Chain A
Amino acid sequence: MTTAAAGTADLYGLIAEYDTPEQVLAAAEAARKAGYTRMDAYTPHPVEGLDDALGLAPTNLGFVVLAMGLFGAAAGYFLQWYSAAVFYPLNIGGRPLHDWPTYVVITFEVTVLLAAFTAGLFMLARNGLPRPYHPVFNTPGFERATRDGYYLCIESADPAFAEDAVRGFLEGTQPVSVQAVVR
Chain B
Amino acid sequence: MAVVTGAPRKVVETNRVIAPGQTAGAIDDVVNTPVLVGPQRTPAWWWIGFGITLSLLGLYLVSIVHLITTGVGIFGNNQPVSWAMPIINFVWWIGIGHAGTLISAALLLFRQPWRTSINRFAEAMTIFAVVCAGLYPILHIGRPWVFYWLMPYPNTHGMFPNFRSALTWDVFAISTYASVSLLFWFIGLIPDLATLRDSAKSRFQKLVYGALALGWNGSAKAWQRYMRAYLLLAALSFPLVLSVHSTIAMDFAISQVPGWNNTVMPPYFVAGAVFAGFAMVLLLAIPLRRAFGFEHLITLRHLDNAAKLMLATGMIVVYGYVVEIFYAWYSGVEFEKYMAYNRVLGADHWWAFWALIACNLLAIQPLWFRRVRQTPWALFLISIFVSIGMWLERFVIVVVSLTKDFLPSSWGGYVPTFWDWALYIGSFGLFGTLFLLFLRLLPAIATTEMKELAHHDAHHGVDAYESIREAYYRGEVRA
Q: Which A residues lie within 8 Å of B25 (CB)?
A: 147-148
**Cα separation A14 to B164 with both chains bound (whole Å):** 62
A157 at the interface (CB under 8 A from B): no
A83 at the interface (CB under 8 A from B): yes
The one of B211, B216, B223, B250 in contact with A46, judged by C-beta atoms closer than 8 angstroms, is B223
Main secondary structure of the interface of B (DSSP, over half): helix
**Taking CB as reference atom, which chain B residue is nearest A80?**
B163
**Cα separation A9 to B449 with both chains bound (whole Å):** 38
Contact B222 A51 (CB under 8 A): no
Q: Which A residues lie within 8 Å of B160 (CB)?
A: 83-84, 87-88
The one of A21, A40, A105 in contact with B219, judged by C-beta atoms closer than 8 angstroms, is A40
Contact with A along B65-100 (1 / 0, CB 8 A): 000000000000000000000000000000000000
Q: Which A residues lie within 8 Å of B28 (CB)?
A: 147-148
Contact with A along B163-180 (1 / 0, CB 8 A): 110101100110010011
Contact B236 A84 (CB under 8 A): no
Contact A134 B217 (CB under 8 A): yes
**Cα separation A84 to B160 with both chains bound (whole Å):** 8
Contact B219 A42 (CB under 8 A): yes
**Cα separation A62 to B247 with both chains bound (whole Å):** 27
Q: How many residue-residue contacts, CB under 8 A, span A and B?
A: 189
**Cα separation A88 to B225 with both chains bound (whole Å):** 43
**Cα separation A47 to B410 with both chains bound (whole Å):** 66
**Taking CB as reference atom, which chain B residue is nearest A131?**
B215
Which stretch, B2-10, B191-199, B288-296, B348-356, touches the partner chain A?
Answer: B191-199
Contact B184 A127 (CB under 8 A): no
Size bracket, chain A contacts: 35 or more
**Cα separation A152 to B28 with both chains bound (whole Å):** 22
CB proximity of B166 to chain A, nearest CB, Å: 8
The one of B218, B236, B247 in contact with A42, judged by C-beta atoms closer than 8 angstroms, is B218
CB proximity of A134 to chain B, nearest CB, Å: 5
Interface residue ranges of A72-90 to B (CB < 8 Å): 79-80, 83-84, 87-88, 90
Q: Which B residues lie within 8 Å of A129 (CB)?
A: 190, 214-216, 222
Interface residue ranges of A42-59 to B (CB < 8 Å): 42-47, 50-51, 54, 56, 58-59
Q: Which of A106, A119, A143, A148 has the most CB of B within 10 A?
A: A119
CB proximity of B257 to chain A, nearest CB, Å: 16
Contact B164 A117 (CB under 8 A): no
Contact B164 A119 (CB under 8 A): no
Q: Which B residues lie within 8 Å of A79 (CB)?
A: 152
Given A43-B218, A134-B217, A146-B218, answer yes or no on A59-B228 (Cβ-Cβ < 8 Å): yes
**Cα separation A11 to B230 with both chains bound (whole Å):** 34
Contact A120 B233 (CB under 8 A): yes
Given A44-B448, A105-B172, A116-B183, answer yes or no on A95-B164 (Cβ-Cβ < 8 Å): yes
**Cα separation A142 to B220 with both chains bound (whole Å):** 15
Contact with A along B20-37 (1 / 0, CB 8 A): 000111001000000000
Contact A124 B169 (CB under 8 A): no
**Cα separation A88 to B153 with both chains bound (whole Å):** 12
Size bracket, chain B contacts: 35 or more
Contact B163 A84 (CB under 8 A): yes
Q: Which B residues lie within 8 Å of A92 (CB)?
A: 162, 164
Contact A146 B176 (CB under 8 A): no
Given A43-B223, A44-B195, answer yes or no on A119-B215 (Cβ-Cβ < 8 Å): no
Given A105-B247, A146-B195, answer yes or no on A124-B214 (Cβ-Cβ < 8 Å): yes
**Cα separation A79 to B161 with both chains bound (whole Å):** 11
**Taking CB as reference atom, which chain B residue is nearest A103?**
B163
B14 at the interface (CB under 8 A from A): no
Q: Which B residues lie within 8 Å of A110 (CB)?
A: 172, 176
Q: Which B residues lie within 8 Å of A41 (CB)?
A: 219-220
**Cα separation A115 to B231 with both chains bound (whole Å):** 12
Contact B172 A127 (CB under 8 A): no
Contact B199 A143 (CB under 8 A): yes
Listed in ascending order, the chain B residues whose CB lies under 8 Å from chain A are 23-25, 28, 152, 158-164, 166, 168-169, 172-173, 176, 179-180, 183-184, 186-187, 190-191, 194-195, 197-199, 210-211, 214-229, 232-233, 236-237, 239-240, 243, 247, 250, 448-449, 451-452, 455
Starting from the known contacts A56-B221, A58-B224, 20 additional A-B residue pairs (CB-CB under 8 Å) come to: A40-B219, A45-B451, A61-B229, A80-B163, A109-B172, A109-B240, A109-B243, A112-B180, A119-B229, A120-B183, A123-B187, A127-B222, A127-B225, A127-B226, A129-B216, A130-B214, A137-B217, A146-B216, A147-B199, A148-B28
Residue pairs across A and B with Cβ atoms less than 8 A apart, 6 shown, are: A45-B191, A45-B455, A51-B221, A59-B224, A127-B225, A133-B215
Listed in ascending order, the chain A residues whose CB lies under 8 Å from chain B are 21, 28, 40-47, 50-51, 54, 56, 58-59, 61-62, 65, 79-80, 83-84, 87-88, 90, 92, 95, 99, 102-103, 105-106, 108-110, 112-113, 115-117, 119-120, 122-124, 126-134, 136-137, 142-148
